[in-house]
Amino acid sequence: MKTPRKITPLTMAGVAREAGVSTATVSRVLNKRNTVSRDASEKVKLAAARMGYKLPLQASRRGPKPVLREPGLKHGVFAFVWTSGHAREHVPTRESMLQGVSLATRDHQIDLVVQYFDDSEAPLLPALAHGKVDGLILHGPPLSKPLTETLRVFPAVWLLYAGAHDWGDRVQPDHRGAADQVFNHLVKVCPPPFCCMTYRSHPGRFNYWTERAEAFAQQARIAGVDHVMLGQNLECGGSDRDRAAASQRLVGEFLALSPRPKALFLAMTDLGGFVADELQRHGVQIMKDVCLIAGDVETQYRPIQPSPITVDIRSVDIGYLSVGLLLSRIANPASPRMTLFVEPRLITSKT
């Protein structure tokens, strides 16, 4: 008996899945924005044609556009709230998430306002102060108690794992899925043993690198593949000096292994350049003597040459999908709190 073909939903996200691209890419192609490669554009157009998907009339018409009447919207306004203020907003991952949010709100004909909280005394935007927004998308640490009490009356979606965990929905990368992709790739291209580097978790916080390391080790145990875990008890501070010291210790332990692994996965994103420099200082050639998977494509603290394999957490998609999740929350206010996991992609050095 043939297995029935999985039905792809007739939505922009469905077209993205069919074409093998991001939802944001589909949005750019269908809205005729010249920021997409010809190859990606053709994939989207072919997928849309196969599925019979057409761009909604509001988005394809010229001239003034009517307000898109999404269920539950009163004002047609969302607020993006940076709880860490201006200083930490301008990094690639955060800028990409904002880009995704901007694309999605534009596609849904929703206005977007942005609020920064550099301190708990920052005044609210008039739209927030007067309740003239339909919902919030937030990123950063939890807010002060007074601000929390003020803002939690709005439907809300948090980005990534930071922020409050007693209110609001969430969109975040599937870090266990990232580790699974890393392991499955290494099985295909490298002989074991494998090595995974990490460092100590911070109590009371979500530590994505610990989740990645544990998932990688679990995959290796289940498959019966020899592997070595380094750094579980290593303390690492937030300065470059701390990262350099941690990398020296980790690389020293790695070089002492016998047999020395041909594959090295760094579960954390901030030590890639430091570990690569230290390996090369000891004569180990990256991507020749050792297959290096180091960091996320948008969060390399230092450049690495030749380019290692990296993880793309799809931060534009995270931002884009948060708008859909917020619309779902507004339309279904009594539904249980939700977390949407976004599957990362492995970016090889040949990509």
- Shared-domain flag, residues 152 and 34: no
Give pLDDT, residue 296: 81
Residue 327 pLDDT level (bands cut at 50, 70, 90): very high
The maximal CA–CA distance of the chain, rounded, in angstroms, is 69
Same-domain pairing of 45 and 19 = yes
CB atoms under 10 Å from CB of 127, counted, come to 16
Between 154 and 69, the more confident residue is 154
261 and 304 both lie in a single domain: yes
For residue 92, pLDDT beyond 70: yes
* pLDDT range class, residue 7, cuts 50, 70, 90: very low
Give the model's confidence band at 351: pLDDT under 50 very low, under 70 low, under 90 confident, else very high. Answer: very low
CA nearest 31: which of 70, 52, 57?
A: 57
Q: In this predicted structure, what is the pLDDT of residue 291?
A: 95
Judge whether 286 lies within some domain: yes
Q: Are residues 146 and 182 in the same domain?
A: no
Q: Where are the alpha helices (DSSP H) in the chain?
A: 12-19, 23-30, 38-51, 57-60, 92-107, 126-129, 145-151, 175-189, 208-223, 240-255, 272-281, 315-331
- Do 157 and 134 form a contact (C-beta atoms < 8 A)? no
Same-domain check for residues 181 and 308: yes
Both 34 and 157 in one domain: the answer is no
Asked if 320 and 295 sit in the same domain, the reply is no
Inside any domain, residue 186: yes
User: Residue 30 above 90 pLDDT?
Assistant: no
Instruction: State the residue for tokens 């279904």.
Output: 332
Please count the structural domains in the chain: 3
Backbone angles phi, psi at 36, to 5 degrees: -120, 140
User: Is 335 contained in some domain?
Assistant: yes
Task: Tell me if 233 is assigned to some domain.
Answer: yes
Query: Is 67 inside any structural domain?
Result: no
pLDDT at 349 over 70: no
Residues 314, 22: contact at Cβ < 8 Å? yes
* Residue 206 pLDDT greater than 60, yes or no: yes
d(CA 295, CA 92): 13
Instruction: Report the C-alpha gap between 69 and 301 in whole angstroms.
Output: 43
Q: Is 104 inside a domain boundary?
A: yes
- Residue-wise pLDDT tens digits, 146-179: 999 999 999 999 999 989 999 999 999 999 999 9
Whole-number pLDDT of residue 179: 97
Q: Is 66 a domain residue?
A: no
Residues 82 and 197 in one domain: no
Asked if residue 136 and residue 159 are part of one domain, the reply reads yes
Is there a contact between 160 and 344 (Cβ–Cβ < 8 Å)? no
Confidence (pLDDT) at 67: 47
pLDDT surpassing 80 at residue 275: yes
Q: Which residue from 158, 120, 126, 113 is spatially nearest to 140, judged by alpha carbons? A: 158
CATH number at residue 81: 3.40.50.2300
Domain membership flag for residue 295: yes
Query: In CATH, what number is assigned to the domain containing residue 43?
Result: 1.10.260.40
Tell me which of 140 and 51 has the higher pLDDT: 140
Say if residue 161 is in the same domain as residue 279.
Answer: no
Is there a single domain that holds both residue 236 and residue 320? Answer: no
- Residue 148 belongs to domain spanning: 77-167+316-342
- Rounded average pLDDT over 119-133: 85
| 211, pLDDT greater than 90 | yes
